[in-house]
Amino acid sequence: MSLGEGSSKMVGPLQRATAVLRALANGGRLGLSLTEIAKDLQLPHSTVHRILAQMARERFVGQDEDSRKYILGPLAFELGLAAERQFDIRGLCRPLLQRLAIEAEDTVYLVQRSGNEAVCIERQEGPSPIRVLTLEVGSRRPLGLGAGGLAILAALPHGEMEDVLGAIMPAIASRWRFPEGALRDSLQSAQENGHAVIRNRITLGTTAVGRHVKDSLGRPFAALSVAAVNSRMDVARIRQIASLLEREAKEIERLLAGLRPTLSRQ
């Protein structure tokens, strides 16, 4: 995500602070250095240092004692707890994910849309002796990169999908070396098949299948995915996994039908 000083868009302190929080969420438990954050946001070191200092005073940001890298602070956790009851669907979905992990025998992920990103909010590991753990709970990626995010992006209305593509392609092309043409081919395939498939895109030797989930208003806001080593994902098994994902996605949609639509606000 670029917030460069020369951007033509109006970018204020709140947008920059939010971008720093998103970057730190991507950094996970290991955290990010000042240089890494500045490079990611394309902002001067002095600007990022000032933002980090202000956020540290409010306990939004902390520093690892050993590496001195920046991490999310305790206030971010406390605010997350306050919002959990209104926005968290993990408790609703967890039994379904556990069942899916047992039947699929591989790792299952639940991701939720957050703007132009997909956030991993739950993971369940299946009984396969070779486990694929490509996402940690809380990690974020641009929509379209992983199988779940690709499934969400493919299910969006055409105009909205194009807007998202325009926003995410620079980062996907530069950071993950994935060209726009290949992403558009993946989107077309997902739209035709009703599920998304990626192979060797993020982790070599790994294949993942994703299926979008709609909220009570019919908007794609989340996705289920199953990831496994390539040797376990031939055409027949991908078809089987896609069928299981469709079943569980429809069950989640049925459970969400009686809940308030605020659960899916971006």
- For residue 4, the model assigns a pLDDT of 47
Q: What element of type H or E holds 224?
A: strand 220-229
Q: Are strands 107-114 and 70-72 parallel, antiparallel or unpaired?
A: unpaired
Which one, of 159, 131, 156, lies nearest residue 144 by Cα?
A: 156
Q: What element of type H or E holds 99?
A: helix 90-104
Which one, of 164, 172, 167, 239, lies nearest residue 201 by Cα?
A: 172
Are the C-beta atoms of 150 and 144 separated by less than 8 Å?
A: yes
Locate 183 and state its tokens.
């992403």
Are the C-beta atoms of 263 and 256 separated by less than 8 Å?
A: yes
Are the C-beta atoms of 149 and 110 separated by less than 8 Å?
A: no
- For residue 265, the model assigns a pLDDT of 38
Q: How far apart are CA 77 and CA 64, in angstroms?
A: 16
- For residue 259, the model assigns a pLDDT of 56
- For residue 239, the model assigns a pLDDT of 96
Locate 74 and state its tokens.
């305790």
Q: How far apart are CA 240 and CA 127, in angstroms?
A: 17
pLDDT tens digits for the chain (266 residues)? 556 444 434 468 888 888 888 888 877 778 889 998 998 888 899 999 999 999 899 988 989 888 889 988 888 877 766 655 555 678 888 999 999 999 999 999 999 998 999 999 999 999 887 777 777 888 888 999 999 999 999 999 999 999 999 999 988 888 888 899 999 999 999 999 999 999 998 888 999 999 999 987 889 999 999 999 999 999 999 999 999 999 999 999 998 876 544 444 34
Q: How far apart are CA 183 and CA 206, in angstroms?
A: 17
pTM assigned to the model = 0.71
Q: How many CA atoms lie within 13 A of 78 on its CB side?
A: 7
Where helices occur in 105-193 by DSSP H, the ranges are 147-155, 158-175, 180-193
Locate 96 and state its tokens.
């379904």
Which one, of 90, 56, 223, lies nearest residue 156 by Cα?
A: 223
- Best CATH choice for the domain 88-264 from the list 3.90.245.10, 3.50.50.60, 3.30.450.40, 3.30.1440.10: 3.30.450.40
Which one, of 194, 163, 124, 136, lies nearest residue 266 by Cα?
A: 163
- For residue 42, the model assigns a pLDDT of 85
- For residue 25, the model assigns a pLDDT of 80
Architecture of the domain defined by 13-81: Orthogonal Bundle (1.10)
Phi, psi of 260 (to 5 degrees): -70, 145
Alpha-carbon distances, residue 124 vs 93, 109, 193 (angstroms): 11, 7, 25
Q: How far apart are CA 71 and CA 61, in angstroms?
A: 6
Are the C-beta atoms of 245 and 193 separated by less than 8 Å?
A: no
Each domain of the chain, given as residue ranges in start order, spans: 13-81, 88-264
Q: How far apart are CA 203 and CA 158, in angstroms?
A: 29
